[in-house]
Each structure stands twice: as structure tokens, then as C-alpha cells.
Amino acid sequence: MKNIVFVFLLTIVTAISSCGQNQSKNTNTKDQKLWSVRMAESEMIRFPSCWQVDFVKEKKWNYTPGLEGLAFTNIYEAYKDDRFYLYAKGYADSLIDKNGQILTYNKSNYNIDYLNPGKLLIYLFEKTGDNRYKIALDTLRSQLKTQPRTPEGGFWHKKIYPNQMWLDGLYMAAPFYAEYAQKFNEPDAFGDVVNQFLLVAKHTYDPKTGLYRHGWDESKSQKWADKETGQSPHAWGRAMGWYSMAIVDALDFLPQNQPGCEEIVSILKNMVEKLTEIQDPKTGGWYQVLDRNGEGGNYIETSCTSMFAYTIFKAVRKGYIDKKYLKTATKAYEGLVKNFIVVDDKGLVNLTKVCGVAGLGGNPYRDGSFEYYVNEMIRDNDPKGTGPFIMASLEYEQLAK
């Protein structure tokens, strides 16, 4: 068994050593840097300030630069290059004033997406001791104290989406909530964190497919909601990607003996087993709509593929799942590099085939149908793809070490 593991790791090291060589004729063969670094450097050229990463023209407190900023702090911790730390810090500093107030943030919206950058603020506060960050992250924590909930205690995704839990929301709030509870002595919050995972799993799980639907409406009043289950019609790839990353990240801060954690790990194991079963054999990726694999119009989507690769790599590293699933993660990651990473004539690294956005309800109304998901905008270098790609790259590179 030891020999098999050694050969496997040697294969990965060999693969990483050639990572600088992309299929594209435009690859700069003089630069053999790792893909995490190359993607980060490309992002800094595309978007000189981190607040710009979602192709926006005005500064906004939002989850996408929070995701990208956290990925950049991870690169900094791995390779100690100050450029990456300063890029992430620049996002917080561009939106937090001298009094610790978060510009453009409105607590009364009760938008759970706004909590995701809180993880970056915890990191910055611990690193700098700057009390502005503590004031700001305390503001975000206070939102959860009054966030509207379902009767069972599940956080609404947003005030404008009453009675609804979306898988996306678990990534936005749960890891931040768990980390805050651990580092600022709120042990009573751990049970609430666990409950969020178990509730959304209970209400979005589809026993016919073994997958999780995008959202659930407790009131069953939405046009997209099944009148018996309240579930949305399909398992959207990125929604499950958010949920899977939320599990492995929140487990970093939950006590091992916390009631319910074993159930969360069981959910993770079953999810990874199912993902391995439905992984595309040609590209190693996963489809935009997971419960309609191979159907006309469906496509391999790279944000969910990056998210699943990151999740599985980390889950193996942390001992939550069997090492045999390294094969699944490696196939996914190397498939991303081979099939969906393009290096342009300027040497910039681009991630293609990212779903720009998808949701439920709203105006214009999003009905959660197959046709809806496959016809949403597709674009290159969306931060919901590049951030997880960087994180998956770091896991891959760490494994090789």
C-alpha cells in the first residue's frame, strides 16, 4: 500500500513540474510558475484592485471579492509573497473606513452573501491587530443574531427571498460563523452552525439522484418550488460546490466532538462518492446541471469543477474521506488545466466556461428549470471560478510537497 501511495504522489509531482506547459501555443515557456501563482498574477493584471474582480465599476461589499481575497491570503500563506497579501488587504481597506464602518453594507437587507468577506476580516485582524477589522467583522456577526429564520432555525438566504434556504448560503455564512465562534469564544454557536448544514441537507436532498437541489422554499409558495417538498427543480453544480466547500471549511473550526459533526462528514462522504460516480470521464469535470448529465445544452462548468476539486483534495488531506478519492480530485484538477485553462498572447492565464450567475426567483423571474440554467451567461475569469481554482491549485501543490 505504501508503494502505491508513493507512486501516486510521484505522478502528481511529475505533473506539477510540467504545469507551466499549457497546450496553448501562447504559453510563456520561460515562466514555469505554479498555476496558483500564475492565475493570481493574471487576476492582478486584469483587475488592478480586488474590488474589481466581478467586472464591476463601483466598489461594493460582496461575496465575490471576499472569495478571491481569501484565496489570495492562502497564496500568501503558502509562498510568502507580499503582493498577494496586499491585494487581499486592499479590498478590505477600500471599503472599511477609519471607524470600522463597511461602505455599501446594509444590515437591514439581511443578505447572507454579505457575510462571506468576514473570513478575510478575521484573517486581517489577527495579522494586523487593526481594530477597524474587528469592528467590521463584529458588525457582520451581529447580522446573524437577527437574520430571519425558518421555523426550524435555518437562515433565510435573503430578506427578499423569505422562507428560503439555498445551498449557496451555507458557504456565505457557515465557515465565517464557525470561525468567529471558535476565535471569539462563542461555543454555544457551534450547534447552530451544525444545524444549518443538517437542515439544508434534509430539505434539498433528492433520494432519486443522491444529489442536492439548489434551493428549498419552506412555504412552498414559489413558482419554482415543488408543492410537496418545496425543493427547486434541479441540482445546480455550483450550488453543490458552495455547499461542499462550506463543509470542509467550517469543519476547520467546529470541535471534533460537536454533536452533528459526524452527520456532516457522512454527508460529505456520500457527496464525494456520488460526484465520483457522475464525473465526466473525458474532461474530469462536472456538468452545469448535475442531474441532467450529457443532455443537449448542458456543459462542463468550471467553477463547480474547481470547487469540487478543492473540496475533495482538502477532505482527503484532513482525513474526512478515503485517500482513494485523490484520483477523482486529480482527474478534475488536471482536466481543468488541460481543457479549460487558456494562456493568451500576453501570457495571462484564463479560466474558461464559468457560469456567470444563477439564482431562483427575483425579477426577471428565474424558474430553476434546466433551460434556465444552461442558458445563463457563460464567461471567462469569473471570480466564482478563479477563486476556487486558485484554492484547488494550492491543495494540489501542497499534496505534491
Active site residues: 168
Do 246 and 271 contact (CB within 8 A), yes or no? no
Residue with cell 484532513: 318
Going by the DSSP 8-state scheme, the letter that residue 214 receives in this structure is: S
Bridge partner list, 366? 361
Bridge partner list, 149? 155
Going by the DSSP 8-state scheme, the letter that residue 280 receives in this structure is: -
| Residue length of the chain | 401
In the structure grid, which three cell numbers stand for residue 160, read together? 427578499
Q: 233 vs 82, 171, 260, 363, 369, CA distance in Å? A: 45, 21, 28, 18, 6
Bridge partner list, 102? 96
Q: 258 vs 96, 191, 192, 255, CA distance in Å? A: 34, 7, 11, 5
Residue 337 to residue 343: CA distance in whole angstroms: 10
In the structure grid, which three cell numbers stand for residue 29, read together? 515557456
Classify residue 259 as exposed, middle or buried by CB count within 10 Å of its CB (0-12, 13-18, 19+).
Answer: exposed
H helix or E strand, kind and range, residue 393: helix 383-400
Do 326 and 313 contact (CB within 8 A), yes or no? yes
